[in-house]
Amino acid sequence: MDARATIVTLTPNPAVDQMVWLEGLELGRVNRLLATQLDPAGKGINAARVAHRLGWPTRAFGFAGGETGAMLERLLELEGVEHDFVQIPGRTRFNTTIVACRTWTSLRGVGPDIAPEHLDELERRVCAALGPGRVLVMAGSLPPGVPTDCYARFVRAAKRRGATVLLDAAGEPLSLGVAERPDLIKPNVPEAEGLLGRRLSGIEEVSQGARELVRRGVGTVVVSMGAEGAIVARGAQLWRVRPPRVERKSTVGSGDSMVAGLAVGFAAGKRLEEGIALATAAGAATAMTPGTARGTAAAIGALLPAVRVEELVAHRLHLPASS
């Protein structure tokens, strides 16, 4: 890998995403498509694509199988994204999103079964790419056959090699990964609620929840709130991030684009506030892009000056002064 190629992404359950547009959808009838779009997908894949667009070389790791896996690799090659997939029996999943009558309907594939020896091979390849100064992004769902402690296993392996670890997942894979103290997690509000076992309503409760997750040993917690921005906690500090106002054409991949910006921030040695701003601009740029496409570097750069990062004062939020 290139000396600057410090971002490694792990997507255990990648996909090819197809988006189709129709005037209307009539069940039981032939429906004519207005347009279609194909993209390589999966949360870590999306992060790798955006980090690459920001000029930071990446290598995307995962599993690939069958003709769908070959299509996934070809789509990444067309974008110039370096990748290393363990070849498996079966087929990489295929997702379809139907846009008709201003309504989105998503059909999500499950993914192929993964044998233990293929998971071991993936770990060997990922670990060979890690070391001090490297950034590992782990993101997305787990396919059948992969145990729920998969991310926890990779967090431990990455930390032993001195890499910085970013985790973006949900449910038990996220909670088990958090127990291994990754450097950053980026849950949305429902995912943070799942980790904490309670509802989070309003900025004060989200802020308190983020601080609680930091106390569990996570280095930085970024709780994304869609168009409302994000709450960020590190140590005893808190920030409220406000994104620029954009016309939102699709929210698919916005969170993954945020993770890409955060990864570039870590890899480039930026201050946290700078990384947060870049991440927020990347998420907004993807939100204003139609379909399953991702924001461009030009769009991210144009939006960056409009991002607002404000440090919050605990006593004004009625939070405990210490964490």
Q: Is pLDDT of 315 > 60?
A: no
**Catalytic positions, please?**
256
Angle at 42 between CA 301 and CA 158, to 5 degrees: 85
Distances in whole angstroms, Cα of residue 249 to Cα of each of 102, 253, 269, 286, 291: 11, 12, 32, 9, 7
- Mean pLDDT, the chain, integer: 91
Query: What's the pLDDT score for residue 295?
Result: 72
- Say how far apart CA 60 and CA 94 lie, in whole Å: 18
Long-range contacts of 269-273 (CB under 8 A, 24+ apart): 272/220, 272/232, 272/234, 272/239, 273/239, 273/309
* Closest residue by Cα to residue 184 from 246, 260, 253: 260
Query: What's the pLDDT score for residue 323?
Result: 41
Write down the architecture of domain 7-182+244-306 according to CATH.
Answer: 3-Layer(aba) Sandwich (3.40)
For 215, other C-beta atoms within 10 Å of its C-beta total: 11
Q: Is pLDDT of 86 > 60?
A: yes
pLDDT tens by residue, 96-127: 999 998 888 999 999 999 999 999 999 999 99
- Mean pLDDT computed over 19-36: 92
Distances in whole angstroms, Cα of residue 230 to Cα of each of 174, 195, 203, 267: 19, 17, 9, 21
Query: What's the pLDDT score for residue 244?
Result: 85
Residue 61 — φ and ψ, nearest 5°? Answer: -110, 150
What is the bridge-based pairing of β-strands 58-64 and 82-87?
parallel
Question: What residue type is assigned to position 246 of the chain?
Answer: V
Query: What's the pLDDT score for residue 245?
Result: 83
Contact 132, 269 (CB under 8 A): no
Domain boundaries, the chain: 7-182+244-306
Of 24-28, 71-75, 99-103, which gets the smallest average pLDDT? Answer: 99-103
Q: Percentage of residues in the chain with pLDDT exceeding 90?
A: 78
pLDDT tens by residue, 121-166: 999 999 999 999 899 999 999 999 999 999 999 999 999 999 999 9
Query: What's the pLDDT score for residue 41?
Result: 95
Query: What's the pLDDT score for residue 322?
Result: 47
